Amino acid sequence: MNIFITGGNGQVGFELQRQFAPFGTILAPTRQELDLTNADAVEAYLAKHQPGLILNAAAYTAVDKAESEPQQAKRLNAELPAQLAEYAAKQGIHLVHYSTDYVYPGNGEPPWQEDSPTGPLSVYGQTKLEGDEAVVNSGASHLIFRTSWVYAARGNNFMKTMLRLGREREALSIVNDQIGAPTPARLIAQVTALATSPHASLLTSPQGAHTSQARSAIYHLAPRGETSWHGFASEIFSYAREAGDSLAITPEGTAGIPTVDYPTPAQRPLNSRMALGKLESALGITMPTWQSQLALTLKEHLSN
Ligand SMILES: NC(=O)c1ccc[n+]([C@@H]2O[C@H](COP(=O)([O-])OP(=O)(O)OC[C@H]3O[C@@H](n4cnc5c(N)ncnc54)[C@H](OP(=O)(O)O)[C@@H]3O)[C@@H](O)[C@H]2O)c1
Q: What is the pLDDT of residues 148-183, one digit of tens each?
A: 999 999 999 999 999 999 999 999 999 999 999 999
Of 6, 12, 160, 274, best ligand 1 pocket probe by most atoms within 8 Å of the beta carbon: 12
Average pLDDT over residues 125-149: 97
The answer on pLDDT for 298 being more than 50 is yes
Round to whole Å and give the CA distance between 243 and 298: 9
**Each residue of 281-290: pLDDT tens digit?**
999 999 999 9
Helix or strand (DSSP H, E) at 94: strand 94-100
- CB of residue 31 inside a 6 A radius of ligand 1: yes
Of 14, 18, 31, 135, best ligand 1 pocket probe by most atoms within 8 Å of the beta carbon: 31
Q: Are 3 and 196 in contact (CB under 8 A)?
A: no
Binning pLDDT at 50, 70 and 90, where does residue 251 land? confident
pTM: 0.95
Q: Please report which residue ranges of the chain form alpha helices under DSSP H.
A: 11-20, 39-49, 70-74, 80-91, 123-137, 158-168, 185-196, 229-242, 277-283, 290-302
C-alpha dist (Å) from residue 62 to 67, 163, 203, 284: 9, 20, 31, 34
Round to whole Å and give the CA distance between 281 and 271: 23
Which residues does 40 contact at the CB level (< 8 Å), separation at least 6?
none
Other beta carbons less than 10 A from residue 267's beta carbon: 16
- CB of residue 150 inside a 6 A radius of ligand 1: yes
Q: Are 121 and 101 in contact (CB under 8 A)?
A: no
The answer on pLDDT for 70 being more than 60 is yes
- CB of residue 13 inside a 6 A radius of ligand 1: yes
Round to whole Å and give the CA distance between 58 and 62: 12
The predicted structure's pLDDT at residue 241: 93
